[in-house]
Each structure stands twice: as structure tokens, then as C-alpha cells.
Structure 1
């Protein structure tokens, strides 16, 4: 989490654990967070091209959405969690990022944009409660990662995969860093633009165009957080100009590129979400 008094100070707040090796299912990234600070936490969640599952392993995590709803315990939020904030104190939690292609099968549904978040037990029922209990009782992070991976694998096996055409379209959107036209995607999969739009939205949770904007924004946000100027980021990320970048960043976060470059949520990305484990790598 980035720059309260600077990125190092913000990141130092967290003891972060990650799996020692990639898991069996591609498109999943996991990290464990233990709060080393006694100060209260209150962070906005920056949109990211993955569905996020947060499992509270203590009693300190609170997640609020733009509608004033509050979740504790286990929560899932979608690709563009408008107005979602993470609050609490002495937080101990497991966070899982799922490629939206994988998430459709694992969760049994897609989460629409607009700040939607749901309790994990609303999706997994009793299995969620049992898995949560085992995670809280586990003695180590490797054990927790193994429990979570096994639960995700079971859900994936029982779930329904997205259409191959939708999976291909997502891979192209991500691989191009959001710089691909919907017409080109439709032609590649042999569908009409209208059919691709409808199927992609129902299974991924966003339209292809908005998904492309999100992937492009994510690349730009991480470049900004790495210290690159807004002008250079706009050029390399495919924006028409710096004003275009500014408008897109404001649309996704309600903040300026300068503010996003210092966003606490981005400060630990290089530690918690190493490139080899980024959930947005898809399937």
C-alpha cells in the first residue's frame, strides 16, 4: 500500500507472504497480509483487471461499498469496484486475485461493474464457511495457500467455463494492454460485434470496450506508481494525449494521475503480486 509518508513507509506497514511456487491453476494469485501497524487503515480500492477475494483471518477487516453496504469475513468484489474501501485495524487477511476468465467458473457467476461486492458464502454457501474455518485454524501461510488452492480447484472443476471465444477475446485485450478494437476481436472469433459484446459482458462482467479501458488504465497506473511522468505514460499506454490519460484515470478512480501514482493500494504490488503470479495473465 503506497505512500502515507512515502512508498517505503506505507509498504513497511505490511508483513507479506506469497506462495513459494505457482499453483496448479493459471490465472490465480494469492498473498497473505499481516498488519504491523496499530494505526487504523482506510483505503480506497483501485480498479484492477481481476476479481478479488478477501478473506479475513482475524476480526479486523471491514469492506464498504459505494451504497453503504458493509461486509466482514469473506468478500468478493469485481473488476471495477467503484467506491469500495477497505477499513480496519490489526488486519490479518488472505487476498486472492482471479482472472475474470477463471473467476466465472470458480465463483459460478460474473460480477458486474459499479461497485458490486458479495459475501463469499453467498457464492459458495457452506463450502465457504468450512474453508474459512480451516483457513483461520491453519498454522502457517503455506498451509493457508494450499487450503485456498484446493477450494478454488474444486470450485473450478464443478463450474462452467466461459466460451472459448470470450477467453480468446480476454487474452487479446490483456495481451494488447487494452489497445485492441472490438471489431477486430469479433472478426477473430467469427462473431458479430453485438454477440461478442453480449457474451463477453455476461461472462466477464464488463463490455469488451470497458475491459480494454481497464487493462490500459492498470498498465498506466503501475507505470505512474513506478515514477514515470504522466506524459510518457500516456504515450506508451496508447492514450491520445496526457489529457486523455487524465480523464481515464479520473473516471476509474476519481483521482488525478498524480494522486494515483501515490495510491497506497499500489505500494506493495511488486512484493505481493510478482509478474509470474499476476492473476490477469488469464488462462
Structure 2
């Protein structure tokens, strides 16, 4: 368990107000034995009464926000649609804000889209949306929340999630092996892939790859590569690297190209992303995903 003074954190935080709206937050991460392929988890607990108004941006995962707080709890707002309590945030949800009041706890689970298609159903149907977890899992959502609230520690909570999701991972994969392979190549290359080259690797035409990938993951291969590349660039910026170096390292044509992509995904300039609080604790909450400070 690590303790920091940060804004209440439930995803990529772009703005969370200024003091005294900030609160002391405990961050819990699972031990290696609790980790599952394609799944990352972190727990957040506000140790003092606080309010939060959090803007979130696209991330290359389907995200579960499991609200374990008492009282009003978490409220997620996107394009005027409001969902209270635990939610599932699909890929590319657009303008999204999460707010809460008072002390509370939240479990965030990030699922790679291929994994999400297995444990949640079709990740393509979730793309660009925010829905109640109950709408996706039915009564299982309430049962899972009750068990998590009753758990004595975050380690117990991670064990419950690992057990629950582990059973679902045993289900029949709902995406083609070729689609899963191409997603993995996109992720490991940090978005620096050629779609035509990947189509040749799996023996598909470009048209077939585009169609199957989009129908099963809810995003085109090119858009997926842009999203993954942006995410890596944002982390490098937050780690203190100058935009010119980040543009080169991330495979952008030039610094202007980086500026356009960051603006498109985050609504901010690279300079603003570098000093924004939304990635300030990612090296603790998601250590395996965070770049080092040296290029």
C-alpha cells in the first residue's frame, strides 16, 4: 500500500480542481500472484472527506470502475448521460467526467479489448459508451460488489476479482486469433505498426482485417494504433521528456504531428499534458505500463 497526496483518481485525470479539493489517497496494487493476462487492477481509497470532478480521456483498454463507497457514490457523466455507481467505460468514450463527494473507495480494472470481449461480452458493443456494470453482468455485478465491500483488505479484494474474472477467462474466446494477434502486436510495438504488413502476417486481405477487427473490438486497426501511440507519448510527456524527444521516440513525423494527436485525444497541448496531474501516480498504480524517465 502506498500513500500519496493526489486528486481522487479513477482513470486518466485531466483536471480535479485545486486545493482544498485534493485529498489524501491510498493506492493499492495486487501482488504478482493476483495478476491475470490482459488485466490490470488498482484500488483507490480517499482517507479524508473530499469532492472530485474528474475529466477522463481515451485509454487503450475497456475500464471497469467498481464503486465501493458509501452514500451517493460515483457519478459518471458523458454527453449528458449520467450513470451512478459501478460502470463499464468502453474504448473511446468521448467527453467523460466522473464526480464524487465525501470519502470513498473505488476499484479500477483495465481490460485489454480482447480480454474484455471474453469477460464482458462483445467489447465492440461497448465502444464509445459508458454503461452500468449491472447492465453488463446483471445480478452478478451486485453480488461481486457485496463481496468486495465485505472483504477485510485490498489483497482480499484483488483475490476475489482474480477468482471472478479467472472463471470468465475460461470461456470460449469471442475474437478471432488473428484479431487477438494484431492487437497484441499493436500494443507491444506501442502503435508503430503497418496495417498492411499485419494483414500479410495473418494471411488476410486489408479489407478483411479492417472489417473483422472493427466488428470484434469496436475500433479500426489504424485508430487502435493511434490510441496506443498517444497513450505511450502521454506517459513520456508526464515523465518529463521534452515534446521534441517524445515525438521522435513515439514515431510521430514531427512535433506538430504529436501536438495534433495529443490535442485530438486529450484536448490539451503536449506542454499541458506534461504538467497535468492525470498521470502523476501511474508509475505506482500501473507500474508495468509506465515508461522510465530516461529515453
Structure 1 length as normaliser, TM-score? 0.89
Structure 1: 5+ residue runs without aligned partners? 279-283
**In structure 1, C-alpha distance between the alignment counterparts of 2:203 and 2:264, rounded to whole Å:** 32
Name which of 9, 14, 17 aligns with 2:25: 14
SS at match of 1:30: strand
Aligned with residue 274 of structure 2, among 253, 261, 271: 261
Instruction: Tell me the number of residue pairs that the alignment of Structure 1 and Structure 2 aligns.
Output: 276
Deviations 1:21-52 (A, max 9, x none): 24363111111100134331111112211111
Q: Which residue in the other structure is 2:34 paired with?
A: 23
CA distance in 2, matches of 1:85, 1:115: 14
Secondary structure of the residue aligned to 2:34 is coil
Q: Aligned partners of 2:248 and 2:290: how far apart in 1?
A: 27
In 2, Cα distance between the equivalents of 1:79 and 1:120? 15
Could you tell me which of 262, 270, 276 is aligned with 1:249?
Answer: 262
Deviates more, 1:23-32 or 1:221-230: 23-32
* Distance in 2 of aligned mates of 1:25 and 1:10: 34
**Alpha-carbon distance in structure 1 between the residues aligned to 2:64 and 2:15:** 25
Task: Specify whether residues 103 and 134 from structure 1 end up closer, same or farther in structure 2 by C-alpha distance, changes over 3 A only.
Answer: same
Contact 1:57–1:93 under 8 Å retained in 2: yes
Q: Is residue 52 of structure 1 aligned with residue 50 of structure 2? A: no
For residues 129-278 of structure 1, the aligned pairs below 5 Å read: 129-275=142-288
Mapped partners of 1:250, 1:113: distance in 2 = 24
How far did 1:191 drift? Answer: 0.6
Seen in structure 2, the aligned counterparts of structure 1 residues 145 and 114 have a Cα distance that, compared at 3 Å, is: closer
Q: Is the 8 A contact 1:77 1:111 kept in 2?
A: no
Q: Which residue of 1 aligns with 2:86?
A: 74
Give ranges in structure 2 of 5+ residues lacking alignment. Answer: 1-8
- 1:175-217 superposed Cα distances (whole Å, 9 cap, x missing partner): 2111111101111111111111111112222100000000100
Which has the higher mean CA deviation after the structures are superposed, 226-235 or 108-117? 108-117
- Contact 2:282/2:290, CA 8 A, preserved across alignment: no
Q: Deviations over 1:142-173 (max 9, x none)?
A: 11111111111122223533211001101111
User: How far apart are the structure 2 equivalents of 1:217 and 1:126?
Assistant: 36
Asked if the contact 2:15/2:54 (under 8 Å) is kept, the reply is: no
CA RMSD of aligned residues (A): 2.6
* SS of residue matched to 2:32: coil
On the 8 A contact 1:10/1:264 being kept in 2, the answer is no
Q: What is the CA-CA distance between 1:69 and the residue it aligns to?
A: 1.3
> More relative contact order in 1 or in 2 (CA 8 Å, sep 6+)?
1
- 1:84 equivalent to 2:68? Answer no
Find the counterpart in structure 2 of residue 38 from structure 1.
Answer: 49
Asked if structure 1 preserves the Cα contact closer than 8 Å seen for 2:23 and 2:49, the reply is: no
The answer (yes or no) to whether the contact 1:108–1:159 under 8 Å persists in 2 is no
Q: 1:22 to 1:246 in 2, by over 3 A?
A: farther
SS of residue paired to 1:194: helix
